Chains A and B, each alone.
Chain A
């Protein structure tokens, strides 16, 4: 089985070094981010490995994964397109934007396209309120913000992502 240790040993070392040695547990969140980068979601074996690396029980690691919404315990689309529909964005048309985008892509909010590439989700405020409609794209590699969007620009981006 592929272990995070095999691929990312330097990064794991560096992460652990950020915290006092008796508080290795502090590395759980960064390591969950790392594990998610590897697979797009946190696998069960990654949970065990992180528990081991940080000297905590696996349930404690899972509990942290469950609390924070950016961690996923299930695989989703390759790209998670997360549209902010919180109040400030909604005042600038985020709800209508999301609705039309979904209609264009042919999925409902929270669903993944048939090819498994794109999941469209509604999320809470992303600190981009002045540039609504806006969304972030969560991928294996990380996160990117797309602001001042129109349905056209978003569809174009999706077409682009699918081709990548």
Chain B
């Protein structure tokens, strides 16, 4: 759905996005993480044809950003939920959606049908005739999402959709994003919320002007420190540690009390041999668990390393 190659944007001497190369698959929820000023919003604005690129190429579907003839076509197949919802506060919820339907040339009958569908789905139908300015933050966020979907886009850019929402409203929005995935929509999610990214994103990119990492949440978690097996024993002695080391597949990285932290490349294959070796050395195994870095560890390490 999105193919970007060496996408770069400079503002004078400042490089906001530096040689970004990424591919977003159709129907996936793609998380885009990065600190403030990392270039996330600039990337979305370039991909949404709101601002121009300095160099590189990017395609949305079959259309190329920067190509004048393709710009309108790209805007037709994308929806945007900006970080500031930007509703017309004086207008009713219904009118807010109705005008956007008109901007996208959704015919009247279809517009009415889709407005009713989204407002009911998001629990706003009863409040359709109230001014958007009277809504809570959560309700406004839901309305902004409905607005971005009124023309049935294939790709939805969402910038911090759950920021400043209470836990219940955040969950509603997250569940709705997961529902959109079932409808084969592609979601490009800018977020600071690592927990949210881990829970709902199929893949995640970490940006800090440059692309720092890209992969599934599990791949990213492993990318920093690899996979680890933690073996808790009744007691640990040198013979047990040596036995675990002799197996050769694992690397005993730490001994913390009665726990052995063993780095393994392929735990599904190597763990039985490691455990047998420990057992043979007289180790009495209490628990075996897998430990890996959290997404937060990965994120902080990458961002601080630059």
A, B assembled together: no
Residues of A within 8 A of B (CB): none
Residues of B within 8 A of A (CB): none
